[in-house]
Amino acid sequence: MRILKLPLILTIVSTTALACGGAVTPGGDGDDTPAVSQPHQPTATTDDPAHASPGQSPPSQPVVSPPSSADTESNVNPPAAQVWSIPDCAEPSGPIHTYTSVADVQGRISGVWYKCSGNVPGPADAVAIELAGPYAYLLVSSGDTLVRKDSWDYERNVGYIDTTMMNGPGYYQINLTSGLGTQMLQSRVSEDGRFLELVQSFDMSRYVRATTVVP
């Protein structure tokens, strides 16, 4: 009777493992382990939105990615604090630059940007944002100059994420992270580098580049 029961037990084990979606791998000593395949996760996609000219409404909302540091350069020293003259605001004009890589995004938006409309993503008294690789500083006005404020609430870590597979050419997400959480932004910059737009959900802010450092 024992000889007849053994094949029946093995058949039940094999049938159960296959019913659960796994494949039984012979172990040679009776210690068979089912390997269960994981279900495929679909990737969200959207149609490629057209890039609008500066001053026009932003394109349809792109798919956003969760916070990630995969595309962030973390081996760059923070820049020294400088005082900048407040630039004159002007109506955005000229063609929009199409980003080609994370490095291109960093290079194009690096610098100090003074808010002309909308809201700086930070405290209410912030009027400008300084972007420098993996670092960002929210600047306040002091007379006719822009200065950093010595507070963690005015500092951000910056992550750059390639979302072109989901949203089309030129779309790279910018994550600004602090102790309060992460703000996920899309950006557009003019080809001549004078104007910047940051979009969070449907809230768009427009900036002009500050170019003059106060000695």
Domains in the chain, please, with CATH? 83-214 (2.40.128)
pLDDT along the chain (215 residues), means of 10: 44 38 43 44 38 48 56 61 93 92 96 96 95 95 94 94 94 94 95 95 93 90
User: pTM score, two decimals?
Assistant: 0.66
Please count the residues of the chain. Answer: 215
pLDDT of residue 65: 61
For residues 119 and 101, the answer to whether their CB atoms sit within 8 Å is no
pLDDT of residue 131: 96
Q: Phi and psi (nearest 5°) for 127?
A: -120, -5
Q: Please name the residues in contact with 7: beta carbons below 8 A apart, sequence gap of 6 or more.
A: none
The tokens of 23 are what?
């494949």
pLDDT of residue 144: 94
